[in-house]
Amino acid sequence: MGPKLYTELASWFHLLSDPWDYAEEAEFAGKTLIEASRIPIREVLELGSGGGNNASHLKLRFEMTLVDLAPAMLELSRTINPECRHISGDMRSVRLGRQFDAVFVHDAVTYLTERDGLLECIRTAFEHCKPGGVALFLPDFIRETFQSCVHHGGHDGAGRALRYFEWTYDPDPADTIYAVDFVYLLREGDAPVRVEHDCHICGLFSRGEWLELFDQAGFTARVVSDPFGREIFVAAKP
């Protein structure tokens, strides 16, 4: 079923993660794609597009096609990105039968917990990228940069409000997964605040493993430090 945040609680997603908060990150992603590509970038495929937060900014520069596994998240993204093409699919196996100038994979890649699944996703990006184009992958963490942490936040909306507490930790450093436990406080109208717990299981791979998988898929990839302290991957298709 996956996290409640992408299924039964999807309509709350923009109160946890506000599209406006993505402006700087999307600006960085757009600039990085353009600088790394050997062809002009017009059409971009996003794998795991979620609530369409990044896309709501990237669409000002590029024509965006958005793929996500969760129907409720596609529905939510359509509300802020009605002009984008939305497609239901798994980033490991979706095949659209055409290529794009660039492929963008943001934090959704974090949900791939097995090495084989990550390779399948990288292969999906390769298949859908034109020669000379580029794929950008932004995992939240790689093995070398992982840190336990806590965050909190939330927003007020029309007649409803959400606040959350987020705890990221790695129960077993010997395997390829870590956990992100969320507690959501949901307030609707005058009703008492409702509390929901949601556990997100995420994948953790080393820099070397990532680069090896890009190589296996046919990309020429390099690591770049982004302005938010993450190590991300810029993968060029020869």
Ligand X SMILES: C[S@@+](CC[C@H](N)C(=O)[O-])C[C@H]1O[C@@H](n2cnc3c(N)ncnc32)[C@H](O)[C@@H]1O
- Which of the ranges 45-53, 128-136, 188-196, 204-212 carries the binding residues for ligand X, by CB under 6 A? 45-53
Residues 67-96 that bind ligand X (CB under 6 A): 68-70, 73, 90-92
130 forms part of the interface with ligand X (CB under 6 A): no
Q: Residues with Cβ < 8 Å from 129, sequence gap 6 or more?
A: 99, 100, 101, 102, 103, 135, 237
Closest CB to ligand X among 37 and 54?
54
- Dihedral sign, CA of 130, 86, 26, 112? negative
- Rounded to the nearest 5 percent, the helix, strand and coil shares of the chain are 30, 35, 35
Handedness of CA 16, 18, 24, 27 (dihedral sign): positive
When the beta carbons of 47 and 189 are compared against ligand X, the nearer one is 47
**Of 15, 32, 33, 54, the one binding ligand X by CB under 6 A:** 54
Query: Which span sits near ligand X by CB under 6 A: 27-35, 104-112, 151-159, 163-171?
Result: 104-112
**Site string (168-207) toward ligand X, x via CB under 6 A:** ----------------------------------------
Question: In the complex, what is the shortest distance from the CB of residue 24 to ligand X, in angstroms, rounded to a whole number?
Answer: 13
Count of residues near ligand X by CB under 6 A: 20
Apex CA 29: angle with CA 26 and CA 34, to 5°?
125
Please state whether 72 falls in left (phi above 0), alpha (psi between -120 and 50) or beta: alpha
Work out whether 108 is an interface residue with ligand X (CB under 6 A): yes
| Sheet containing 63-68: order of strands | 85-88, 63-68, 43-47, 100-105, 129-137, 231-236, 220-225
Shortest separation between residue 80's beta carbon and ligand X, angstroms = 9
Site membership for ligand X, residue 52 (CB under 6 A): yes
Q: Tell me the HSE value of 116 on the side-chain side, using a 13 A CA sphere.
A: 1
State the minimum distance, in angstroms, from the CB of residue 46 to ligand X: 8
Closest CA relative to residue 60, chosen from 11, 34, 26: 26
127 counts as binding ligand X under rule CB under 6 A:
no
Write down the least CB distance from residue 190 to ligand X, Å. 30
Cβ neighbours of residue 60 closer than 8 Å, sequence gap 6 or more? none
Cα separation of 1 and 171, whole Å?
22
Q: Under the criterion CB under 6 A, does residue 118 sit at the interface with ligand X?
A: no
The residue whose Cβ lies closest to ligand X is 50
Binding residue for ligand X, selected from 62, 100, 104, 111, defined by CB under 6 A: 111
Interface contacts to ligand X, rule CB under 6 A: 6, 22, 48-54, 68-70, 73, 90-92, 106-108, 111
